[in-house]
Structure formats: C-alpha cells, structure tokens
Amino acid sequence: MRADMPYALLADIVLTLHVAIVAFVVGGLVLVIAGNLRGWRWVNALWFRLAHLGAILFVVAETWLGMVCPLTTLELWLRAKAGVSVYGGSFIEHWLQRVLYYEAPWWVFAVGYSVFGLLVIAAWVRFPPRGWRRNDSAATQSDAE
C-alpha cells in the first residue's frame, strides 16, 4: 500500500460528503415543499428545517464573502498530500467532481445561491417547522402523547 493512499481515500470521502451536503440542501427544499403538499409531518421537524436553513445560509454567506468552501479546501489539501491532481484520480473523484464543480463567473454562483436561499426562506415562511410557531407548543405536546 502506498503511503499517499490514505490521503487520496480521505479526499474521496470528503468529496462524497460534499456531494451529500449539496444533495441535502437541494433535496431538502424539494422534500419540504412536496412533503407539506402530501401531508408528511416529518419534513417540518425543527431539527431538519434548522439544519437545512443553516446549510444554505452558510453557502450563501461564504459565496458573498468570497470564501472557498472549507470542504473544497480540505479536499484539495488532501489531494496535494496524496500527490494527485485535482481532476485526475479515482472513479469517485472523477464523477462526483463532474457533478459538483462548474466553471462560471463568481456572480453566477452568488445569484444562484442567493435565489435558492430565498426559496428556502420562502418555504420556511409558507410551511413553518413544528415548534416554530407560538401555537405549535400545544400541538407538539399532543403529538408526543
């Protein structure tokens, strides 16, 4: 086993985690809207909605502040430690990077992430999470019984 293999494997794990977070952010909004229209109560769990809102707000903030995503930074560092290029490597790396990374001007990402963030906030207002509204505390207690 080569000494740089653990770094390459860890880089693939970070990339996979990154894609999973992107899927959570995008799929989370779809689940909130579809779930509320279909009566799925679990999509309004406060922990789920806070995690979803926090994730997209983090993405929007880092974009507007001109920051590189910490997961991207970590992945690139691990790939450098492994001695592999950013665009070469394993099957996982090749395909997940094609899904995750795009070439476009900064403003395209800033506008896209901001619009998506506004959609998440609109879904929060239209379909508030359980426990967020004042009269939800009584409903939440009766749900627990």
Q: Which residue matches tokens 């560092």?
A: 77
Average pLDDT, the chain: 84
pLDDT of amino acid 4:
61
Q: What is the pLDDT of residues 8-28, one digit of tens each?
A: 899 989 989 998 999 999 999
Q: What is the pLDDT of residues 68-105, one digit of tens each?
A: 889 988 998 998 898 876 655 555 566 667 777 777 88
pLDDT of amino acid 44:
96
Q: What is the pLDDT of residues 36-46, one digit of tens each?
A: 999 999 999 99
Q: What is the pLDDT of residues 105-127, one digit of tens each?
A: 888 889 999 999 999 999 999 99
Instruction: Identify which of 87, 74, 99 has the alpha carbon closest to the alpha carbon of residue 13.
Output: 74
Q: Is the pLDDT of residue 57 over 80?
A: yes
Distance CA 52, CA 119 (A): 12
How many CB atoms within 10 Å of residue 97? Answer: 16
Q: Is the pLDDT of residue 132 over 90?
A: no
Of residues 109 and 137, which shows the higher confidence score? 109
pLDDT of amino acid 50:
96
State phi, psi for 135 to the nearest 5 degrees: -80, 0
Q: Which residue matches tokens 């996982």?
A: 92
Distance CA 142, CA 67 (A): 45
Contact 115, 29 (CB under 8 A): no
Please give the DSSP secondary-structure letter assigned to residue 94.
Answer: H
Distance CA 35, CA 39 (A): 6
How many CB atoms within 10 Å of residue 47? Answer: 9
Distance CA 52, CA 43 (A): 11
